[in-house]
Structure 1
Amino acid sequence: MSHPLIPIVHDLAKSVASQLGLEAVAVYFYTHHSPPTLRVDIRHPERDITLEDCAQMSHCLEEVLDASDRVTTAYVLEISSPGLSNDLTTDRDFKSFRGFAVQVTAHSPDHGQQAWQGTLIGRDEVAVYLNQKGRKITIPRDQVSLVQLQEGPS
C-alpha cells in the first residue's frame, strides 16, 4: 500500500508544476532511506526536462510543502525526470502502451498470485485490465503496486 502522504504531495506537486508549465508525473516516498526521501518526477509536455526545471520545481514545491504543514517528518526532497522508465504510472502511459506486454504486481497476494503478465487492455478508476491468452484479467486498482512494460510478446 502506498504511503498516505503520496496523494497529498501529488496534489500539491501538480499545482506547483502547472504554474511552472510542467507536469507532476509521480510521487514516491522512500521511508526506508535515512532520512526518508520524497521524490517527485516531473516532465515538460514539449521538451526534455532541464536542471533548471528541477531546481525551480524543488524551490517552489519546498515552499508549498513547508507552508502546508502536511509533512511533519524530516525528509529529503528530490525532483527528477522519469526518463524512459518501464513503469506505467499516468493515464497517458496506459493509453500509449495499450496492446503492449506488461507485468502487473500487486501489494499482496490474491489467491496465491501477486504478479500477472499479459497484454495491456487499459485502466480505469476501478481496475487494470490485461488480456492473458484470450482471457480478460481484472486486477483491482487499489491492489496494484506496479505496472511495467515487458520485453517481447506477452
Structure 2
Amino acid sequence: MTKVTELVADVVTPLAEARGDELVDVEYVKEKKQYYLRIYVDRRPGGIDIEEIANLSELVSEKLDELDPDPFPEPYILELSSPGLERPIKNEKDWERAKGSYIHVSLYQKIDGEKTFEGTLKDLNQDQIVLEVKIKTRRKDITIPRKVIASSRFAVEF
C-alpha cells in the first residue's frame, strides 16, 4: 500500500467497522488523465447492498474532505463498491476466509504441466495450499507452494 492508500484505510476502517462492514482494499490509481480512489467494502454474511454502499460513501467522502493537509495531489473520483464474487485473495485473512471455497489460482511456474488451477481450497499453511481440483470425473488434491502463486481469487463454480 502507498502512503495515500494507507491513510485512506486508516480513515475508512473505523467507519466501516462501526457499521458492521469490512474494508477489503483501497486503490489510488491514475487512468488516462483522471485519478480514482477505489474503496472496496464487504459485509458478512450475505454481502453489502448498493444502498449501504451509498450511505458509507457519503460518510467516507465527508471524512476525506476533512483531512488536513490534503493527501491527494490532484482531484479524484471516489468509487466505493463491493469486491464482487470473484474478489482477489490478497492477505492471510482472505486466505483463511477462502478455506472451503472454490478459488482460481495462477502460478509463476507450472505444476503437473499447468499454470492455472480452479478448485476447493482444502487446507493451507505458511508455505503451501492444498487445492481439490476436478480432473474429468475424478477429484485430486494438489499441493501448491505459496511462493509460486502469482495471483488468486474467489471463483464461481460451473
Q: TM-score, normalised by structure 2?
A: 0.63
Aligned residues: 138
Comparing both structures, which one devotes a greater share of its residues to strand? 2
Select the structure of larger CA radius of gyration.
2
Q: Out of 144, 147, 158, which is 1:139 matched to?
A: 147
Letter in 1 for 2:145: I
- Aligned equivalents of 1:58, 1:72: Cα separation in 2: 21
Query: Does 2:43 match 1:21?
Result: no
Q: CA deviation at 1:114?
A: 7.9
Q: CA deviation at 1:43?
A: 1.4
Q: CA deviation at 1:60?
A: 0.9
Unaligned 5+ residue runs, structure 2? 132-140
- Alpha-carbon spacing, 1:151–1:122, altered in 2? closer, same or farther (3 Å): same
Contact 2:27 2:38 in 1 (8 A): yes
Q: Which residue of 1 aligns with 2:45?
A: 46
Q: Which residue of 1 aligns with 2:153?
A: 148
Q: CA deviation at 1:40?
A: 0.8
- Structure 1 runs (4+) deviating above 3 angstroms are 89-92, 98-102, 113-124, 128-136, 149-152
Contact 2:106 2:116 in 1 (8 A): yes
Show the 5 A alignment for 1:1-154.
2-68=1-67, 69-98=70-99, 102-104=104-106, 113=108, 122=124, 129-130=128-129, 137-139=145-147, 146-149=151-154
Letter in 2 for 1:148: R
**Root mean square deviation, CA, Å:** 3.5
- Aligned equivalents of 2:151, 2:4: Cα separation in 1: 18
Unaligned 5+ residue runs, structure 1? 106-112
Contact 2:36 2:79 in 1 (8 A): yes
Residues 71-113 of structure 1 deviation map (CA, whole Å, 9 limit, x = unaligned): 23211000101120152135443013347664357xxxxxxx5
User: Which range moved further: 91-100 or 114-123?
Assistant: 114-123
Q: CA deviation at 1:61?
A: 0.8
**Percentage identity across paired residues of the two chains:** 21
Contact 1:25 1:89 in 2 (8 A): no
